[in-house]
Structure 1
Amino acid sequence: MKILIIGANGTIGKKVSEALAQKHDIIPVGKSTGDIQVDISDSASIEKMFERSGKLDAVVCIAGEAKWDNFEDLSENDFYVGIKNKLMGQVNLVRIGINYLNPGGSFTLTSGILADHPVDKTTSAALVNGGLHSFVKAVSLELENGMRINAVSADLVEDAIEKYEDYFPGHTPVPMNKVVDGYKKSVLGKPNGEIIRIVA
């Protein structure tokens, strides 16, 4: 399979790329690194990325930004950071990507535990993750030519404990191999319209 992975150099992206590269052709994409670069908040940048990659069997996005802060300190524009980047960025990957995905191909998006179990200062991020879940379930009903779509929603991952542990009191970190298996399930399996939840 020819698999494009956005966020291939990130904490989770590296492990997912290494696992899928064992048997498949991986095209790593980053915002400022990788064979191809993309700004997912810019639909023109997404279009250029797909023009460079050509036809694909799978698109995996393990990227997306959202603002974390106290609700009372979040401005309207702060909310738009996540809406434009992590939410609409991934929506546009699908909207544009269907023209480059081979029949039977798949999209795997990334949301996160905050959609179901938000923590302090994550109102904006939780909003975006919840929107992604609704989008995946709805658009899966309309994709044609055997195309599939899923979202992987992981709890705090082991490799990000140092950075995020204080935000997630009481959350048991998820082993990285379990997170990778969630992405493998979406890409290599047959689920469609699923939110693949990864918890310890």
Structure 2
Amino acid sequence: MRILIIGGKGTIGKPVAEHFQNENEVIVAGRSSGDINIDIADADSIEKGLKALKKVDAIICIAGEAKWADFNDLTEDDYYIGLRSKLMGQVNLVRIGKDYLTEGGSITLSTGILADDPVAKTTSAAMVNGAIHSFVKAVALEIEKGIRVNAVSLGMVEDAYDKYKAYFPGHNPVPMKKAVNAFVRSVNGKGNGEIIRVYEY
């Protein structure tokens, strides 16, 4: 398969890309690094990047920003960071990306445990993640040409434990192999409209 991985240089994206590279042609995209540049917060950037690739069999997005801060400190503009980037960025990736997928291809989006089990300072991020879950379930009912759309929702992964453990007291980190396998399930499986949750309680 020919697979585009947006965010394939990040903490989760890198091991995902390394896994798929064993048996597939992988193109890694990022805002400022990778094989091509794609900024998901910019619909024109998505279109330009995909047009350069012409056709792919799968798109994986492991990118998107949202503001983390106390609820009382969040401004309207702070909410728009997540709405423009992680939410509409991934919505636009499906909206535009479907035209560059081979028939029966797939798009895998990324969310996280905050949609189901938010912690302090994540009002904006939790809201965005929950919205993506609803979008995935709805768009799967209408998308054509056999294209599948799923979301991978991870808990805090092992490789990010030291950075985020203060935000997730008592949470057990998700082993990276489990995280990678969630993306394998989405790409290589037959599921459509699925929220693939990998949480360690």
TM range (shorter): over 0.9
Summarize deviations over 1:27-68 as a string: whole Å, max 9, x none.
000111001011111100110010111101000000000000
The more displaced of 48-57 and 106-115 is 48-57
Structure 1 residues 35-50: aligned runs within 5 Å: 35-50=35-50
TM-score, normalisation: structure 2? 0.99
- Between the aligned partners of 2:17 and 2:63, the Cα distance in structure 1 is 13
Relative to the length of structure 1, the TM-score reads: 0.99
CA distance in 2: counterparts of 1:173 and 1:94, whole angstroms: 29
Alignment partner, residue 65 of structure 2: 65
SS in 2 for 1:107: strand
Q: Which runs of 5+ in 2 are unaligned?
A: none
Partner residue, 1:94:
94
Supply the AA of the counterpart residue of 2:170.
G
Calculate the aligned-residue CA RMSD, in Å: 0.5
5+ residue gaps, structure 1, are none
> Structure 2 CA distance, aligned partners of 1:33 and 1:48?
16
Indicate the SS of the match to 1:143.
Answer: coil
Partner amino acid, structure 2, of 1:84:
R
* Counterpart amino acid of residue 89 in structure 1: G
In the alignment of these two chains, the number of paired residues is 200
In 2, Cα distance between equivalents of 1:52 and 1:170: 45
1:5-34 C-alpha deviation (Å, 9 max, x unpaired): 000000000000010110010000011100
Q: 1:72-104, CA deviations, whole angstroms, 9 ceiling, x for partnerless residues? A: 100000000000000000000000011101100
Mapped to 2, the partners of 1:132 and 1:118 lie a distance apart of 15
Q: For residue 182 of structure 2, what is the aligned residue in structure 1?
A: 182
Q: C-alpha separation between the residues in 1 aligned to 2:169 and 2:52?
A: 43
